[in-house]
Amino acid sequence: MKGIVEDRAIELATYITDTNSTVRVAAKKFGISKSTVHTDVTKRLKSINPTLYKEVRKILEENKAQRHIRGGEATKEKYKHLHK
């Protein structure tokens, strides 16, 4: 029988794959920490649902590769509003 933690890991993974969202967005949506989301979808999910784990891992790797671009855009927006 699955526990609450396992159900949460599957729910988080499904959300991330359906919306192509980041760990940060998923954490905010579910009201839990980024660390919990990351642990659930990387460590716990691997033994619960390997197929779903592979899908989530692919999205997380893509997000990781793009994070420097997102950070630059966020900084650009921040300073754009400060100088108006």
Per-residue pLDDT of the chain (84 residues; tens, 9 = 90+): 357 999 999 999 999 999 999 999 999 999 999 999 999 999 999 999 999 999 999 999 998 887 777 777 778 788 887 776
Contacts 24+ apart (CB under 8 A), 16-22: 16/41, 16/56, 16/59, 16/60, 17/52, 17/55, 17/56, 17/59, 20/59, 22/63
**Could you state, in order of their start, the residue ranges of all structural domains in the chain?**
4-82
pLDDT of residue 69: 73
How many residues can be counted in the chain? 84
pTM higher than the cut 0.75: yes
pLDDT of residue 2: 55
Q: Give residue 22's identity as a one-letter amino acid code.
A: T
